[in-house]
Amino acid sequence: MILKLDPTVIYETVVTVFLASWFLATILCQFKETKISWLIRYKIDFFNLIPLWTFFAPHPGKRDYHLLFRDKISDADYSEWQEMEITEERTFWSWLWNPEKRDKKILSDVVQSLVASIPSYREKTGNLNLLMFSTPYIIVLHAVSQYKKRSQDCYRQFMLAESSGYQKETEPALILLSVFHQM
Amino acid sequence: MILLNDISQTVLIILSIGLLISTLEYLKKVEIFSPNGLLSWNVMQLKWTKQDQKSFLKPFFKLFSAQGLTVLFVIRCLLIIGLFFFPLQSTTGWVLISLLGASLLVASLATYYGSDGSDQMSMLIIITLILCNLPVLASSKLRDIGLWFIALQACLSYAVAGIAKLVSSEWRSGTAIKDVFSTKTYGSKKATLFLQKYPAANRFLCWNVIIMESIFPLCLFLPWEFALIFLIWGFIFHFFTAVIMGLNSFFWAFMATYPAIYFVNHQMSWHLF
């Protein structure tokens, strides 16, 4: 008996296997990072198609991030710290129309990525010098470098800090203080 | 003109509303992709360091400027509007959704930072609808499989979120929601004041979210009148996270999965009781 291959059946099988693999990969990439989940997330998932569904857990984001910078004009002359306006309050219509959320999420992602990488840089090199070559660090440095300089040959330093938003009982804390970068 | 008598079509229409809002939001904030912006491609391209990745990305370099992405987002808006007029199962509808999927995939390379779970759910739904509605080759059985996949991913997302909260001491002790609501990023002053005035509400809300998210997949197996309780809860949950936390795109992305959950629930040959 000759088995006749129907293109519809072949297509159906291929798509079903693909969707089943996608679902399985999603399950494998939740919770604890394993070798398989690392391989899927960092080597295969080029388009960020494997979601992490652990929203706001296990550690909910309970701090606001702040990005500040200042200029060094000379050894004795520093500008005041200036904050990049990112954590502005939402409007009444934010439940429907909220373009501001992107800036906040970008900074939050970048800072979390930086913070997460700090221990591994400390462990590998004993200091944070190599952190300056990481993409999140360069994104932050690039963002602050776009602001008007105090003088032509100044150096710029940035600071990442966190605060507890509307709860005033906790003091703002420093996350990272950069070196001075020539602009 | 499209009709909402097809479940896949209903999924697509709900998702399209959210995607249109999200794309218009990106257009409003397109300066983040300019050379001075947070996601300037001059910097973002550093993420891809390997030579083969660089050569793959080379054709997109012009596209990832603020002007290039403005064009892409405008085209995406037109594609989404087109989807309100052409049924998914027509050839034109399928071409429109495929181009929409391609635009989402390409733009995801530039929006690595700043995208969230709603973007991933949207992408997941769009790709599934493209694959399961290919003219000529896609059967009605495959369309059903696609709806199963969307419903299972939705249930997985709630269950994982619930379990991750259950193992968290901050969620179990009932402080997590108060802490999140007190941030300017995801909270609101009014909600913070309310939770400070009524501390019992913290614990209630935390445990309400933990329990309902963890057992959400039951909505596939319960008789429809009980399953509906989970979907109504989900609607209220996403509405309030949009109002209080500003997570508007989650509302549309997750509401789009509910018709698929309805479909799977009605396809079940047995229910729990």
Per-residue pLDDT reduced to its tens digit, A151-168: 888 999 999 999 888 876
Residue B156: which of A12, A26, A61 has the nearest Cβ? A26
Distance (Å, whole) CA B134 – CA B151: 20
Residues A79 and A149 in one domain: yes
Q: Tell me how far CA of residue B55 lies from CA of B48, B61, B96, B108, B162, in angstroms.
A: 10, 10, 28, 17, 41
Q: How far is A128 from chain B (nearest CA, A)?
A: 19
Q: Structural domain boundaries of chain B?
A: 1-132, 139-273
CB count in 10 Å sphere of residue B194: 14
For residue B41, count CB atoms less than 10 angstroms from its CB and return exposed for 0-12, middle for 13-18, buried for 19 or more. Answer: buried
Radius of gyration of chain B measured on its C-alpha atoms: 20
ipTM above 0.90, yes or no: yes
Size of the A and B interface in Cβ pairs below 8 Å: 208
pLDDT tens, N- to C-terminus, chain B (273 residues): 666 679 999 999 999 999 999 999 999 999 999 988 889 988 888 877 666 666 777 778 789 999 999 999 999 999 999 999 999 999 999 999 999 999 999 999 899 899 999 999 999 999 999 999 999 999 999 999 999 999 999 999 999 999 999 999 999 999 999 999 999 889 988 999 999 999 999 999 999 999 999 999 999 999 999 999 999 999 999 999 999 999 999 999 999 999 999 999 999 988 887
A109: closest chain B residue by CA = B113
Residue B183: which of A53, A64, A100 has the nearest Cβ? A64
* Beta carbons of B108 and A47 less than 8 Å apart: yes
Q: How far is B3 from chain A (nearest CA, A)?
A: 25
* Beta carbons of B38 and A107 less than 8 Å apart: yes
Q: In this predicted structure, which of A13-22, A140-149, B203-212 has the lowest mean pLDDT?
A: A140-149
The residue whose two tokens read 């997302």 is: B157
Contacts of B258 (CB under 8 A, 6+ apart): B14, B154, B231, B234, B235
* Beta carbons of B185 and A61 less than 8 Å apart: yes
Chain A residues with beta carbon closer than 8 angstroms to that of B37: 143
pLDDT for A151 equals 84
Structural domain range at position A15:
1-58
Residues A92 and A151 in one domain: yes
* Beta carbons of B184 and A87 less than 8 Å apart: yes
Q: How far is A157 from chain B (nearest CA, A)?
A: 17
* Beta carbons of B165 and A56 less than 8 Å apart: yes
- C-beta separation of A134 from A39 below 8 A: no
Residue A41 per-residue DSSP state: I
- Number of independent structural domains in chain A: 2
Chain A residues with beta carbon closer than 8 angstroms to that of B180: 56, 60-62
Residue B153: which of A26, A62, A65 has the nearest Cβ? A26
Chain B residues with beta carbon closer than 8 angstroms to that of A18: 131
Considering A21, A41, A58, which residue would you say is the last residue of a domain? A58
Residue B47: which of A30, A97, A135 has the nearest Cβ? A135
pLDDT for B142 equals 97
Q: Is residue A88 very low, low, confident or very high in pLDDT (cuts 50, 70, 90)?
A: low
Residues A6 and A28 in one domain: yes
With an 8 Å Cβ cutoff, is B92 touching chain A?
no
Indicate left, alpha or beta for B174 from its phi (over 0: left) and psi (-120 to 50: alpha). Answer: left
Residue B131: which of A7, A15, A59 has the nearest Cβ? A15
Chain B residues with beta carbon closer than 8 angstroms to that of A136: 113
